Amino acid sequence: MLKKHKDRLFRLIFEDKKDLLEKNRSEVMSMILTTFNKKSHDKTLRREGFEYRLLMLVRKKFELGQSPEKIAEDLLESPKTVKKYIRQLQNKA
């Protein structure tokens, strides 16, 4: 079953470079499968999602007039982290 998915992936990604890649098929497939690390990718997505959610909470609380110290206390974060997010928000505005 895994071979079937590998073949399908290979065709979808590299159809226009077929001749070159078929000559080096095993090397190309090995490179693709060893380069992509699903666990690492999923971990990165979770971390980025957490950071984005934290940024949105900081923004909302800051817009309501709360101080960085109060926000940090409410969100159980360091004031340094909260101030970093506030600077990011102000630089985007």
8 Å CB contact between 75 and 48? no
CA atoms within 13 A on the CB side of 56: 6
Q: State how far the Cα of 51 lies from the Cα of 34, in Å rounded to an integer.
A: 28
Residues 6+ apart with CB under 8 A from 66: 74
In order along its 93 residues, the chain shows pLDDT tens digits of: 556 666 776 666 666 666 766 777 777 777 777 777 778 888 989 999 999 999 999 999 999 999 999 999 999 999 999 999 999 999 986
